[in-house]
């Protein structure tokens, strides 16, 4: 009861006033959709579309230079809007340099865990950045990129077709077809049960 009240207060403070972010994230553990609502109001991004899901572990070093489209989903990743080496170069050479740029993420983009997107990059639309990728150049519409530096490894269209075929072969395919949206808490326990039985059938 007390913890529920604390969470309500923290959500109110964060979403209504932009305050107590650290406590809000740590204690409320907001979903990606919930945290996106907080970022849209208080994250100081240049622009942010609708229906986004952004993990609270995402790092925006320079949010003012970041523009997000609609349906952008981000696991814990980092977007870097500047090259801090210019400070060292100034100290070493006296050169007054600038290395800052925008990051534009178009509609329907997923960025995986641990990925790094550098300044001056435009992604998508309809693209995927794989986990751990370091994106140093633009990602073409419909491409899947991965690696260091990131390069095209597939397309979203081919991934979708492959996953559709594989999903139909799963013992729990009917649940996937009938659930509400891509995550349905009402059926998740049964999905987990069936997956565990299937994955560890030999144990």
Model confidence pLDDT, tens digit, residues 150-200? 999 999 999 999 999 999 999 999 999 999 888 888 999 999 999 999 999
pTM of the model: 0.90
- Where are the chain's structural domains? 45-156, 170-203
Least confident of 26-35, 114-123, 132-141: 26-35
Query: Do 83 and 103 meet the contact criterion of CB atoms below 8 Å apart?
Result: no
Mean pLDDT of 92-116: 96
The β-bridge partners of 154 are 144
Closest CA to 32 of 74, 78, 79: 74
Question: Scanning the structure block, which residue is given the tokens 């006033």?
Answer: 17
Q: What percentage of the chain carries pLDDT values higher than 70?
A: 100
Residue 141: band (very low, low, confident or very high) from pLDDT cuts 50, 70, 90: very high
Burial class (CB in 10 A: 0-12, 13-18, 19+), 110: buried
Mean pLDDT of 99-115: 97
Q: Is the peptide bond before 149 cis (omega within 30 degrees of 0)?
A: yes
| Position 203 pLDDT exceeds 80 | no
Mean pLDDT of 38-52: 96
Mean pLDDT of 1-10: 89
Give the mean pLDDT of the chain. 94
Domain covering 45-156: architecture: 3 Solenoid (2.160)
54-103 tens-digit pLDDT? 999 999 999 999 999 999 999 999 999 999 999 999 999 999 999 999 99
What is the predicted pLDDT for the residue at 87? Answer: 93
What is the predicted pLDDT for the residue at 201? Answer: 84
């Amino acid at each position: 009861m007390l913890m529920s009240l604390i969470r309500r207060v923290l959500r109110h403070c964060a979403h209504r006033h932009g305050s107590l972010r650290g406590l809000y994230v740590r204690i409320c553990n907001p979903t990606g959709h919930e945290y996106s609502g907080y970022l849209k109001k208080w994250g100081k991004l240049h622009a942010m579309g609708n229906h986004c899901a952004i993990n609270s572990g995402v790092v925006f070093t320079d949010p003012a230079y970041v523009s997000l489209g609609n349906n952008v989903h981000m696991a814990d990743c980092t977007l870097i809007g500047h090259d801090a080496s210019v400070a060292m170069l100034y100290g070493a050479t006296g050169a007054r340099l600038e290395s800052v740029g925008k990051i534009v993420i178009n509609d329907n983009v997923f960025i995986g865990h641990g990925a790094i997107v550098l300044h001056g990059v435009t992604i998508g639309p309809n693209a995927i950045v794989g986990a751990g990728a370091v994106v140093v150049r633009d990602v073409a519409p419909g491409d899947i990129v991965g690696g260091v530096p990131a390069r095209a490894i597939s397309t979203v269209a081919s991934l979708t077709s492959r996953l559709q075929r594989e999903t139909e072969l799963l013992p729990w395919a009917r649940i996937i077809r009938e659930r509400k949206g891509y995550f349905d808490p009402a059926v998740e326990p049964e999905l987990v049960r069936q997956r565990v039985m299937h994955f560890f059938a030999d144990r």
